[in-house]
Structure 1
Amino acid sequence: MKTLGIKAGMALAGMPVAMAIAAGVSTSASQAALRDAWVPEDLQTLATMQLDRVIPRPADPSNIHERSRNAASLGRALFNDPRLSRNGRVSCASCHTPAGQFEDGRPVGQGIGTGKRRTMPVMGAAGAPFLFWDGRKDSLWSQALGPMEDGAEHGGNRVRFARIMQSQYAAQYERVFGPLPAMPSLPPDASPLGTQDERAAWAALPPAAREQVNRIFANMGKAIAAYESRVQYGPSRFDRYVRSTLAADRPGQDVLTVQEVRGLRLFLGKGQCITCHNGPMLSDHAFHNTGVPPLDPRRPDRGRADAIPKLLRDEFNCLGPYSDAKPEQCGELNFLATNDPAHLGAFRTPSLRNVADRAPYMHAGQITTLQDVVRHYVEAPEAAIGRSELARPGEAPRQRQAIRLSPQDVEDLAAFLGTLSGAVDQPR
């Protein structure tokens, strides 16, 4: 099989790098000079995994304020404000800690109560078509609203949020969204998702008042999304290794150890990790059932299967009245599969960037170490609910072959995953 080595910033025989890869030009001498030689197919795959290959996505059509600096400034303030919770002690930053990995290191989230799933990091979320482990939200701004009303997270209510915006953020809000409505006759607390008294108070509000409150609430989410969309992963040792390899830079390959490179080869090869963890974010943004054991075997989490009805009836989705998008711009929602049996027990593929810094793992922190995560895929247990995509040794293949790794392979693959960590880039 031919091999490729690509000179950084140069052409091979007058051919640009991209054309050289596409044409499969043989440069065996360049590869032979490297510590780690790669075949053309692997080089092309590695190139697609670089962080700088992230294609700038179009602005979210459902949030016309996403790229506004004023909106991001307001969103940052809201993200860090514990007054947006029932007990005045919980903010978005309580679980998505900016000083860490924009998550909390707990098996499940802890707000005013205890959640049921792991906190996901903010970085890269703006590029995902669906948010949360089960994908029950279809935009970053809509996702930001969910925890604010959730009884185990912020536990707040919409009218209280509107009053806080009036008393604390009127000027900042006006710079982005225009003047706040007066709303003088609102009760102290009211929400369609709150306590029994709060729901009754919400039902008693005139429709126009409910619409005004909902608009303020939606705009709070849009401001938070403008801030969160600016929080990004920074480059890792892996990215530097790929850049050096594509540039035929022999000393540059030393950024990874020999063991870590063995793990990378397993990642692309018999470990089959690349099947779901691909592209610059190392995620296919899809939903998979891989037989992860539930926290409570008596009540296994149905995952994506239960999320789709919630998404479709969400008034804050892309097709809802508070979205800035035209209906034809909501492609993900318009063509959503609603009755796929594979959704049962399926959860979103998380990004593997900075994964070594984010233990524990899986949707409810069920697995403690990266080695144990790899062993889970090798053992391929049966799913407690739905059907696992993983094939077990000796079984007929399902969507992929059984994963066969030695104990040393497990260590090597876990070592490679540690190379995916980089700094978190935050807006100043």
Structure 2
Amino acid sequence: MAHNTRTIARQVAQYSDYRDLLAPLTRTPQDISWELLAESLAEFQRTLMDDPKTQPLDSFLLAIEAGDWQKAKNALTDQQLQGLHLFRTKAGCIKCHNGPLLSDQRFHNTGLHYFGRKFEDLGRYEITGKNQDMGAFRTPSLRHLMATKPWMHNGLFTQLEGIIRMYEHGGARPRRPATLPAEQYYPTTTQLLTPFNLTPAERQALLAFIKAL
């Protein structure tokens, strides 16, 4: 998060909770190093790896690749399969949520920058200082989605239904404040987000699919 490794190790060593957790691996707080923290983080991240044979979407895709249509049919329910179709087509989720991690690893402005308001977060702009990066955030992975609540970069969303509704309207599109000086740049929502309409049944199907990720 833009810190240097020495600072991170020093900050972790300041907290008794972390020192207690790391005590079996260290003799003194001074032994808490970035190398130890990196190994600990890697060990934790290994627990997040899915077995493709048990993860619904991966099981479905592997079965399709193998031409095992019965196994593919059993991997996803009919409702989840409809949700996958909507994910790829009408809802357009796949424009950004694609690839093995269901993320294009690019930065986009979804309109949730709260410019000039409470919760303001200008995203990548805070690092680059470039106007075009104002309000842009990296597309998050949808893997383990139900274990990462609350959602969005600021954690302000607790209901997936609300997120889908927002995207049905083409994402958040805040208006430029009338009091903002003309020379002041104002971030605009990406044109990748376009409005779409789902029936109640389609909305539930899309939810069923993304909850299985």
TM-score interval, normalised by the smaller of the two chains: 0.7 to 0.9
Letter aligned with residue 189 of structure 2: S
Partner of 1:360: 150
Cα pair distance change 1:284/1:145, threshold 3 Å:
farther
Q: TM-score, normalised by structure 2?
A: 0.72
For the aligned residue pairs, the C-alpha RMSD in angstroms reads: 3.5
In structure 2, the partner of 1:262 is 82
Give, as a single letter, the amino acid of the residue that structure 1 aligns with 2:43: Y
Matched positions, count: 191
The one-letter amino acid of 1:416's match is: F
CA separation of 1:275/1:145 partners in 2, compared to 1, >3 Å: closer, same or farther? farther
Structure 1: runs of 5 or more not aligned: 1-131, 174-215, 309-337, 390-397, 421-428
1:223 paired residue number: 39
Within 5 Å, give how 1:344-355 maps onto structure 2: 344-355=134-145
Superposition deviation, residue 340 in structure 1 = 3.8
Structure 1 counterpart SS, 2:201:
helix
TM-score (norm 1): 0.39
What amino acid is the match of 1:291?
G
Which of 172, 185, 195 is the equivalent residue of 1:402?
195
What amino acid maps onto 2:28 in structure 1?
Answer: Q
Aligned to 2:49, the other structure's residue is in SS state strand
Tell me the amino acid that sits aligned with residue 39 of structure 2: A
Structure-2 residue corresponding to 1:168: 28
Identity, % of aligned positions: 31
Q: Which residue of 2 aligns with 1:248?
A: 67
**Structure 2: how far apart are the matches of 1:399 and 1:358?**
24
Alignment partner, residue 374 of structure 1: 164
Q: Distance in 2 between matches of 1:376 and 1:419?
A: 21
145 and 279 in structure 1: CA distance in 2 versus 1, 3 angstrom threshold: farther
Measured after TM superposition, the shift of residue 399 of structure 1 is 3.5
Structure 2 residue identity aligned to 1:382: R
Q: Distance in 2 between matches of 1:233 and 1:362?
A: 22
Q: Is the 8 A contact 2:113 2:123 kept in 1?
A: no
- Kindly state the Cα deviation for residue 156 of structure 1 after the two structures are TM-superposed: 2.7
For residue 189 of structure 2, what is the aligned residue in structure 1?
388
Measured in 2, the distance between the counterparts of 1:401 and 1:147 equals: 44
**1:344 Cα offset (Å):** 1.1
1:148 to 1:361, Cα distance in 2 relative to 1, 3 A: farther
Q: Deviations over 1:22-45 (max 9, x none)?
A: xxxxxxxxxxxxxxxxxxxxxxxx
* CA-to-aligned-CA distance 1:215-247 (integer Å, 9 cap, x gap): x74434443344345343203111111222233
- The match for 1:298 is 118
The residue number in structure 2 matching 1:192 is: none
Kept after mapping to 2: 8 A contact 1:288/1:342: no
Matched, 1:276 2:126: no
The aligned runs of 1:85-100 (5 Å cut-off) are none
Pick the aligned partner of 2:132 from 323, 342, 361. Answer: 342
Question: Which has the greater radius of gyration?
Answer: 1
